Structures are given as structure tokens and as C-alpha cells.
Amino acid sequence: MPVKNRFAELHDTITEWRRDMHANPELLFDTHRTSAMVEEKLKAFGCDEVVTGIGRTGVVGVIKGKSTASGKVIGLRADMDALPIEEQTGLDYASTVPGKMHACGHDGHTAMLLGAAQYLAETRNFDGTVVVIFQPAEEGGGGGREMVDDGMMDRFNVQEVYGLHNWPGAPVGKFAIRSGPFFASADLVEIEVEGKGGHAAKPHETIDTTVMASHIVIALQTIASRNLDPVENAVISVTSFETSSKAFNVIPQKVTLKGTVRTLNPAVQDMVEKRLKEIAEGTAAVFGGVARVTYKRNYPVMINSDEQTAFAAEVAKSVTGDCEEADLVMGSEDFAFMLNARPGAYILMGNGPGASVHHPEYNFNDDAIPAGCSWWSEIVEQRMPAA
């Protein structure tokens, strides 16, 4: 079963939806315009039920097959939010909102799932129920967690859940997936370093926080190089170094470091958290200062279920003829919360050449729309075949 003809017919329409969302990006849970657009279209498609306000601004549509005798219920999820980036694409449908853009392709994900929902509501050629899930706040807000905590899985009796993400650099529409740990956890770290401020000409009268914090930044890299089993994975990144003084001639009283920790194994996650605190506090003490560490576990490791991954790969092959083994990804994905709640799988789909995600020149490739819509609809029709 190649790409469905219906999606070739709908391609221009779905592209218009996508570009409208691209021109009107919204951040985190503030997806009111996008959520309203999704709600309106799901109702127009004739979904059996459309529910808003799940996980604050999430939208869920329910589509029943010609029969529901199988009792099966499958969830399909797309994310809706954009990023706080100033767009530099020069497109005629570029962001109209200063400082915000769809730099990760969530506009494409939402448009493709809307296209799949329209097709499934038209045909209903399956035995069971499909729940289409439109999630806010994937980009750091934990919208997936919010929707799960809001009781979504139990409320709609979701038994399996599937997600999709575009992947720049891979050929357009080409799929890749892997079973087990796939995307890393993402923990947030803040380290407040305090010493004794003073005049830059008299460092001997101070406890220099910039020197202290600099040693902490370097020492934290020894966690991966000297504490971690080389066959495991961890990325510790200090991304912000902010002093309490901006003057040229002042040694600051305080320095605040911020960053992330990414791992693929809960045991490694525990070890890194422990060593990070020990290193920060110990290094500061050596210099006569104090380090206070705030460590927040944010997104968990995203783990694909074995059975559902094998099935998702076969569906991808039926759509485009191929599905590769994906590499591990040290980025995070809050679809992990849904996969912690139910078995399922997350797949990558090629976006072609061009800028990477989270780049101001990135743009979702509309040529990938038919393949993505076909994959989602085939997940339903092959998992719950009509009697």
C-alpha cells in the first residue's frame, strides 16, 4: 500500500493549513488560535467527539470505525507549539509574530494529523476507535505530561499510542525508528556559586566566583569521561554563565550556571545527578566558596515498545517501501510521558535537505505531507482492520 491517493488530492489543502499555522506560531500552552483551528476542523470532519482543554489547551478528537466490535482504541499524537526564535527564512508565509516561529515542524505534524483525521472520518474503514491527540507545550512545557495527568488515556480508553517527527537531512518521506530507549531524558540544572566579591585589582581579598564557576564547568565534563561506563551515554551541557555584576572592575559575589543533563538509562541519570552535586559543591569548597545545586528531572527517557515499534516499521515500509534503524537521539521528547502511560512507538520521517530543527532558517517540507498522513492512517487501518 503506497502513499494514499486521497492525500495527493488533499495535499494542497493540508499545505494551506500548515502554512497558516506557520505564519501564526504560538508558544507552550498559549496555543489558543491553533487549538481553535484544530477543534473547528475536527468538528467539520464529523468526528464523533471533540474535546478541548485537556492538558490546558490540548484537543482530542474521537473517530469510530464502521464497527467497534474489536474494542481496540489507538491514539495518534501531534504537537502544536512553536519556539521563541526570530524567523529568518524569508518565506511569503513566514511568522507574523516577532520572536516566535515554527522551527521544529510542529505545524507540519499538526497539519498531517488533521489530514489523517479527515480521511479516517470520511472512510471509517477500520474496526475500533481512533483518538487523535493534539498536544501543546512539547518544547519544554511538558504538555504530554499535562494531558496524561489530566486523565486522557483512561478517559478515552487509549490502549496504544503513536507519534511522528520530521527529520531534516533524511530523504523526504523516508522513515526510521528503533525499539527501546530512543530519545534521551532531559533534566534541568541550576548551580548558584557564592564567594566574596570585591575589586578586580585586589583578587587576594576576594573569593573569586568566576574562577570557581569556571572550574565547575570544566570539572562537570569528567562525569561523562571518567565516571560513566564508555558504552553508556550522557551529555552534560552548561549553557548559561551569569554573574551578579556586569562591571569590568568587579569580581562578582555570585555566579549562576544553568544547563541540561541528558541520559538514556535511569541508573546513569541517578549517577550523573549525584556526581554533579558532589563536583559542584566540592569544587566550590576547595576555593573557599559555596555551590547550591537545583536539579530538576524534566522529561524522562522516551522508550519505544518492542511490539509496537516492529508494527510501526512494517507500516512505514508499506507506505514508502523502506524503514531504517534510527540512531539514538540525545535530544528529548515529551511523547515519553504518553509512552510511559501506554505501549506505543515514535517514528522519524525525512524532511529533506535544509536547516536543522531549532534553527531560524528551518522550514517543514510540505512534500512530506502525503507520506506522513498515509503512515498515520495506515497505523489505524492495519492495526484495526475492518471485518
pLDDT digits (tens, 9 = 90+) for 40-98: 999 999 999 999 999 999 999 999 999 999 999 999 999 999 999 999 999 999 999 99
pLDDT at 235: 97
Summarize pLDDT for 158-214 with one digit per residue, the tens: 999 999 999 999 999 999 999 999 999 999 999 999 999 999 999 999 999 999 999
Q: Is 165 annotated to bind ligand?
A: yes
**Domain spans, the chain:** 5-182+301-383, 186-299
Mean pLDDT of the region 261-282: 97
**Of 252, 239, 169, nearest to 209 (Cα)?**
252
Fold for the domain defined by 5-182+301-383:
Aminopeptidase (3.40.630)
186-299: CATH, from 3.30.70.360, 3.40.50.880, 3.30.9.10, 3.90.550.10 = 3.30.70.360
pLDDT at 61: 98
Q: Is 104 annotated to bind ligand?
A: yes
pTM for the complete prediction?
A: 0.94
